[in-house]
Structure 1
Amino acid sequence: MSFSYWQLKLADRVGTLYVRFGNWLARRLRHHFYLYLAAAISVFAVVDALHLHKLFDLRQTSFDTLVKHRLVTAKPDPGIVILDIDEASLAQLAPDLGRWPWPRQVLGDVLTQINRQGARALVFDILFSEPDVFNPDSDTAFDAFLKECANCYLPWVRLNPGQDSSSELKASQIPGAQRLAPGEATIAGILPYFPAGLASGRLGFNSTVPDPDGIIRKYGVYEDHGGVRLPSLPTRVLRDSGNLSAQLPPSVLINWRGKPFSYRYISFADVYRDSMSEHPKRQRDEFRNKIVIIGSTAPSLFDIKASPVAEQFPGVEIVATALDNLKHDDYLRVPALRWLYLLLALALVWATAWSFYQHAAPEKLARWFGLSQIFLLALSYASINLSNYYINLLGPVSFSIAYFTLAKLYALATRRALEESAWTRSPTIQAGQQAELAWLQMLDETGEPMAESLLDKLCASFPGQIQTCAMSLAGSQYGGWRMFDGGLVFTHLQPVDLPPVLEEAELRRLVAQWLAQTGLHRYRLVSCSALRADYDPAIKPQVIWQTLFGQALLQSSTSSQEINT
């Protein structure tokens, strides 16, 4: 009982403070708050666009969400095949070859058979950094295989750039490096062990380096270091085949082909056993013109990475995807449209601010604001589904939502203090003028009021002089005003020596004409009247308008009849 009492006491206190704070704020800022807030949000948007780069640049979380839930993805290139040293291969071949790493001659023997079928390239996603001290003859045989293989590509590892100064390896000494300018600089890296592989020059660094949050989104194309250009492994492969675009950035945003295992995987054990069989059963040309990437998806070999599309993504498939992207030049582009995004954000914020400032109808404002945000998000989503471009509209959306949220909270907190009657916004009557007011109400055959959107269209069909007289009873009106749903009010000031603009007969004719044109015969005009009042200095203008409206309602009750169209 005591707990319930204090709960009610606290709720009452909070409600009282909320109302007092709203009234206090409204007395000082009035509707100018919406303009002040827009200015503050605009300043922050400009600072972010020029310096902070928090909302206008690529946002990792939003980007990952869009990529992960894409409806349309490019198909994996069927010319790229992954020879997979998977868990099944490790288990099946353990009795014959022992635990991994196997003797390297085994790889050479299998790949020799594959190369005889006419493979386009054999790309290793395996680093051979040290000799096999237990199988030196096997290493000799593998080195001989590399010497004879004219389409084998080996990776080297680029270590942390912070270790460059302590390294003895010069960038120009890395096989396959392209000299761009004079100069020498050391670089931290681990090269393959085999002399034949180094002599071939077909080397490239493997760029499966994650972002600071541990997720791989980009793949390196090349690195310029010490006056030389060092290609990545996919870049080196495609440079020889002539499938590489001339203008490429140092790194690209990966255009993922879908969930893991989207490419064709072939188990190494299956190919090995078939090559050792007296009667091979596999197709003799299954690797013809294929780029074969040799790697592993076995979790025990620790080549599993995190990507936007899956928390566990095979590292070998990342290499395949990067090679596919560069081959088809369809990696994801992010247009540098920061200034356009900033202008869009400012336009949205100030358009919303002006709507609040001008007492726009809350329901209509919320509807159009929501539709604008949905449209922008849909545009971003469509761009990444239907093209290779990611139009990042999160910045404009974030700033406009932030403004709308704060403005809405202010509007709710100050609603009663700032609420104005429709009549207080009516034109002030001057000497020599006559006040005109017309009222009409549309209901359907079940008594439901006509929707606001249809009322807008009805009003838009009237002549321009009458359209400009329309006055909304929505906006900040609450409570009893709901009984006037489906109605239109027109107010106008006319010199007393001129004929009136608002005539009941003319309004009836216009409504009948519109119903006939639109075919909306389920609606009927249940109320229609028009009145006039002369200027009276002893009566406040808003009282004159209120009196006219009351008289219009009373008179219209005598003419509630269905219009035959």
Structure 2
Amino acid sequence: MKKLSKFSILFLFVLGFHLLIYISGAIPFFDYRVFDFMTSHSPPPLTPSSGSTVIVEIDEESLQLLGQWPWPRLILAKTLQEILRQQPAAVGLDIFFPEPDRTSPSQIISFYKQLLGLNVQLQGFPAELADHDRILAEILQSGPTVLPLFASQESSASKECQSFPAQKISLPTDISIPESRSLLCNTPILQQAAQGVGYINASVDSDGVFRRQPLIIRYKEQIIPSLALAMLSQVDPQIKLKHSTNWWAPLKLSFTDKTITMNRRGEVLNLLYPKESFVRIPVSQVLSGRAPAALFTGKLVLIGASAAGLYDQFVTSSGDIIPGVFVHAALLENIINGQGLYQPDYAKNIAFLLSFLLSLLVVYLVFERRYLAAWVVFLGVTLIAIVVTWIALRRGIYISPGFFLTPFLFMFFIFSLFFAILHYIERKRFLEDLGEAHSATIDSMTMVAESRDVETGLHIIRTKEYVKLLATYLKNHRHFNQKDLTPHIIELLYRAAPLHDIGKVGIPDAILKKPGRLNANEITIMQSHVEIGRTIIDNAINNYNKTNEFLTIASNITYSHHEKWDGSGYPLGLNGKNIPLEGRMMALADVYDALISRRCYKDPISFDEAEKMIIAQSNKHFDPMMIAAFIDLKNEFRQIAETYVETENLSSCS
């Protein structure tokens, strides 16, 4: 029952997290990034020499030569005529003509008549040039030309198409493609002259980047293709949209020997290319006869604006801004080369569901403290997701891994972070308990030695407090600035100080507890306690089998706390800074406490006397730096001594 309750809590937690991240809108954003990254590392399938499209640009050069836009349609008619002479496969115009050309002589005459009531006559003007729209219509009618439409969800009945050329593309009846409420067309004379029409509008994803494009829309029970698809239908009249035989794709487009799969909305992921990937030529060069022979022969030709301010701007995944005519050209190339990418309708939901189930598994493993298993599952699943996505992408399918990876990675990261913090807290508590047990063990070991000595357990406490006080002062005071005395080292000094006389465990009681002064031979034996202490600690170091800061500091304290600054100490007669810093601090702390404490062989002396004796030994027994610190810390030393004052008797003295 308890296990079921725990699992229920985990289930609700993972479910709540997934719902929260889904509502936040972060998943599509990261899915877009995954798509952009993976497609950016694919080899570019398009170069100017391999492409099937040619873009005729209304660019800055053409505007400079022919004047600002819009041009008289006579110019476009002449341009289109030059292109059709080379017998292209199809010509698509990414230029909308919703109104009659007001630069036509017939329109100018009508304008003056309606506005001023004047009957303007153009004497000697050729009648065949009077209507630019009619001229353009005749050229449109002479070849495989396609004009644009604009699909809208807003009702604009007064500007809607009344009729358009018969479309050659059929569609299964049970496919749910988008339906347009309004379709804005070109002026009727042009609309009927073109061999085909296709809509040119496209929408961007929520991050403002263009990635997907519907190939078809529905309008009043009619199927309207995109401009690119309408151009391809001029090349292959047998082009079809039909049910796919693949279980994962509802719709496919068959064009010549290529097949492009789509979702139920007729969408494909349209990979875009830099402008340099296409064959391009300005309108001005076409009109001046500078277009290479056979440049347009058998090609799909798109006429559109590339001059700044004249075109719809689309942002690519690489951050480039390209005109809409290059979007249509990219779609043409992708269909011709079979490069169309399909995103299954169900992929997002399945990916999200898998994320939930596998997140639940990983969270359960982490909760059970099976961290290695959780990491293996996490890394294995993530790697599999990336590999499967890459393989599917190579086959033209994008399985929306962002809907799996985003919540899965976030879930694992947050839950792992939570348990890492929890583990840190538990580990810290364990180490603190271990440290306290360690200190208690050390103190107990020291008390074994001290129980045979005339000194008391309070001597251990006082001396380690003195050492910590000195070390902290030397670290923080700018005059001394002992950078090696980190908080960690000071803590080790504090814990190691009680071991300074551990070697006394090997000194005979007759010498250790002698109430009087020792003779020369007894002094030698007493002084051997530093060797005994170092041997005890060094054995521990050797058994530990690697460097241990605590034991190294303890060994230095034990072996060098009877050395003197002027070299007259023992066991090695070290002098000055050759004596380890911890030994110099312990020397002052040990002597000070011995002076103010009662022993079998002496009475305590006052704080003032002890302080004078300590200071007098500067540069002799003690490091002058320690004495300088001691002078500033005299009151603190007294407070420690008074806090841990002796209360026991000396009944152990013999």
Q: Same fold (TM over 0.5)?
A: yes
Q: What does the per-residue CA deviation read over 1:144-175, in whole Å, with 9 as the maximum and x for residues that have no partner?
A: 2223x23111112223x1x22x5146677343
Structure 1 position 299, deviation (Å): 0.8
1:253 aligns with 2:268: yes
Q: Is the 8 A contact 1:255 1:321 kept in 2?
A: yes
Which of 262, 266, 269 pairs up with 2:284? 269
Structure 1 position 374, deviation (Å): 4.9
* Structure-2 residue corresponding to 1:315: 324
1:80 aligns with 2:53: yes
Paired residues for 1:103-502 under 5 Å? 103-136=72-105, 137=130, 138-147=132-141, 149-159=142-152, 161=153, 163-164=154-155, 166-168=156-158, 173-176=163-166, 187-193=181-187, 195-200=189-194, 202-242=196-236, 244-247=239-242, 248=252, 249=262, 250-274=265-289, 282-335=291-344, 336-338=346-348, 340-361=350-371, 364=372, 368=376, 371-372=379-380, 374-376=382-384, 378-379=386-387, 382-383=390-391, 386-415=394-423
Structure 1 position 256, deviation (Å): 1.3
Q: Which amino acid aligns with 2:304?
A: G
* Structure-2 residue corresponding to 1:37: 10
Q: Is the 8 A contact 1:224 1:230 kept in 2?
A: yes
Change (3 A) 1:313 1:406: same
Alpha-carbon distance between aligned partners in 2 of 1:300 and 1:389, rounded to the nearest angstrom = 36
Q: Is the 8 A contact 2:151 2:199 kept in 1?
A: yes
Alpha-carbon distance between aligned partners in 2 of 1:417 and 1:273, rounded to the nearest angstrom = 80
Structure 1 position 135, deviation (Å): 2.8
Alpha-carbon distance between aligned partners in 2 of 1:345 and 1:64, rounded to the nearest angstrom = 18
Alpha-carbon distance between aligned partners in 1 of 2:170 and 2:204, rounded to the nearest angstrom = 28
Q: Which amino acid aligns with 1:153?
A: V
Change (3 A) 1:111 1:365: same
Structure 1 position 194, deviation (Å): 5.2
Q: Percent same amino acid at aligned positions?
A: 20
Could you say which structure has the higher strand fraction? 1
Structure 1 position 334, deviation (Å): 1.4
Task: Provide the alpha-carbon RMSD of the alignment.
Answer: 4.0
Q: What does the per-residue CA deviation read over 1:516-540, in whole Å, with 9 as the maximum and x for residues that have no partner?
A: xxxxxxxxxxxxxxxxxxxxxxxxx
Q: Is the 8 A contact 2:92 2:301 kept in 1?
A: yes
Which of 64, 71, 85 pairs up with 1:102? 71
Change (3 A) 1:59 1:226: farther
Q: Is the 8 A contact 1:252 1:331 kept in 2?
A: no
SS of match in other structure, 1:253 = strand
Q: Is the 8 A contact 2:348 2:400 kept in 1?
A: no
Q: What does the per-residue CA deviation read over 1:184-206, in whole Å, with 9 as the maximum and x for residues that have no partner?
A: x9942321125144244511211
SS of match in other structure, 2:288 = helix
Structure 1 position 289, deviation (Å): 0.4
Change (3 A) 1:385 1:205: same
Alpha-carbon distance between aligned partners in 2 of 1:88 and 1:384, rounded to the nearest angstrom = 44
Q: Is the 8 A contact 2:146 2:197 kept in 1?
A: yes
* Larger relative contact order (Cα-Cα within 8 Å, sequence gap ≥ 6): 1
SS of match in other structure, 1:219 = strand
1:65 aligns with 2:57: no
Structure 1 position 58, deviation (Å): 8.2
- TM-score of the two chains, using structure 1 as the length reference: 0.57
Structure 1 position 63, deviation (Å): 4.6
Structure 1 position 314, deviation (Å): 1.6
Alpha-carbon distance between aligned partners in 1 of 2:303 and 2:199, rounded to the nearest angstrom = 15
Structure 1 position 291, deviation (Å): 0.7
Could you say which structure has the higher helix fraction? 2
Q: Is the 8 A contact 2:211 2:271 kept in 1?
A: no
Q: Is the 8 A contact 2:159 2:184 kept in 1?
A: no
Task: Give unmatched runs, 5+ long, in structure 2.
Answer: 106-129, 174-178, 243-251, 253-261, 431-541, 546-654
Question: Which shows bigger deviation, 345-354 or 379-388?
Answer: 379-388
Structure 1 position 273, deviation (Å): 1.7
Change (3 A) 1:328 1:179: closer
Q: What does the per-residue CA deviation read over 1:485-517, in whole Å, with 9 as the maximum and x for residues that have no partner?
A: xxxxxxxxxxxxxxxxxxxxxxxxxxxxxxxxx
Change (3 A) 1:399 1:150: same
Alpha-carbon distance between aligned partners in 1 of 2:276 and 2:374, rounded to the nearest angstrom = 44
SS of match in other structure, 1:292 = strand
Q: What does the per-residue CA deviation read over 1:302-341, in whole Å, with 9 as the maximum and x for residues that have no partner?
A: 3322232334112101011222333444321113235642
Alpha-carbon distance between aligned partners in 2 of 1:290 and 1:315, rounded to the nearest angstrom = 19
SS of match in other structure, 2:365 = helix
SS of match in other structure, 1:382 = helix
Task: Give unmatched runs, 5+ long, in structure 1.
Answer: 1-28, 276-281, 422-552, 557-565
SS of match in other structure, 2:289 = helix
Q: What does the per-residue CA deviation read over 1:271-311, in whole Å, with 9 as the maximum and x for residues that have no partner?
A: 22226xxxxxx532121101110011111313322232334
Structure 1 position 349, deviation (Å): 1.7
Structure 1 position 125, deviation (Å): 0.6
Q: Which amino acid aligns with 2:298?
A: N
Give the number of aligned pairs.
377
SS of match in other structure, 2:386 = helix
SS of match in other structure, 2:166 = coil
* Structure-2 residue corresponding to 1:428: none
Alpha-carbon distance between aligned partners in 1 of 2:90 and 2:334, rounded to the nearest angstrom = 17
Q: What does the per-residue CA deviation read over 1:114-168, in whole Å, with 9 as the maximum and x for residues that have no partner?
A: 2222211111011122222223433332222223x23111112223x1x22x514
Change (3 A) 1:145 1:340: closer
Give the greater-gyration-radius structure (CA).
2
Change (3 A) 1:292 1:346: same
- TM-score of the two chains, using structure 2 as the length reference: 0.50
Change (3 A) 1:267 1:411: same
